[in-house]
Amino acid sequence: MSVRRLAAEQPDGFQFNPENRKWADAQLKKYPAGREQSAVLPLLWRAQEQCDGWLPEPAIRHVAEFLNMPYIRVYEVATFYTMFNLEPVGKYLVQVCKTTPCWLRGSDELERVCFEEIGSPESISSDGNFTWRQVECLGACVNAPIVQINADFHEDLNSQSFRALLSKLRAGETVTAGSHVGRHASEPVEIEKSANANEKSANEEQETLQFKKPE
Ligand code: FES
């Protein structure tokens, strides 16, 4: 398990913006009276979103005050869950799955692309666009190898398609999440090939029958 510390440089303060404050007030109503502190995870997550993908110390403190919780308890939550980024990250957070199915399907190649295109893990690329890290199973092994970029899964990648994907993001182009080999959901990759093969063999059979008919 990695050591997770707060960033050395922190902003002066944090407040939910009016929209998020309204949203946070509404979250509290989801919980029974006296159990509002159960909203700590979604509130920290919203604070992270408001801070461009990372969770500064003043935001942790603000959530603690908002929920009337001891600061240390919110600090424990923020430093325990790796979905909370304690340091600033790039515009796109690239999470490369390195667990066995993705590894067997080429995640080493994707990691190499990250080193070449972005730099060392957890650093922000020089253009501010990317931060990348290695993660464990993202729960979509059937479409391995998988890379999560912000909230989206990109599937069935190889080094070429992954490099092209990063280029598009860098250029500000819209990208489509999901399979990068064009398959629907997790259907077998061979389905089109099999369908074509079946069609071909049916046609050949038909031709043979037609040829035999005159006899
Ligand atoms: S091993 Fe990569 S998604 Fe499961």
- Fold: same for 18-80 and 92-179: no
Cα 133 to middle of ligand 1, angstroms: 14
Q: Which CATH class is domain 18-80?
A: mainly alpha
Give the binding-site residues of ligand 1, using a 6 Å CB cut-off.
Answer: 97, 99, 101-102, 137-141, 144, 146
Whole-number pLDDT of residue 214 = 46
Domain parsing of the chain, residue ranges? 18-80, 92-179
Candidates 109, 110, 141, 154: which one to mutate for ligand 1, based on the most atoms within 8 Å of Cβ?
A: 141
> What atom in ligand 1 is closest to the CA of residue 98?
2
Q: Give me the pLDDT at residue 211, please.
A: 45
pLDDT of residue 204: 61
Ligand 1 centroid distance, CA of 193 (Å): 25
pTM: 0.84
Instruction: State residue 124's pLDDT score.
Output: 97
179 phi, psi to nearest 5 deg: -65, 140
- Confirm or reject CATH 3.40.30.10 for domain 92-179, answering yes or no: yes
Task: Extract the tokens encoding 133.
Answer: 């890290």
At 188 the pLDDT is: 86
Say what the pLDDT of residue 71 is. 98
Mean pLDDT by 10 residues, the chain (215 residues): 88 98 97 96 98 98 98 98 96 98 98 98 97 97 97 97 98 96 86 57 56 47
Q: How far apart are CA 161 and CA 87, in angstroms?
A: 29
pLDDT per position as a tens digit, 82-135: 999 999 999 999 999 999 999 999 999 999 999 999 999 999 999 999 999 999
Q: Is 17 exposed, middle or buried (0-12, 13-18, 19+ CB in 10 A)?
A: exposed
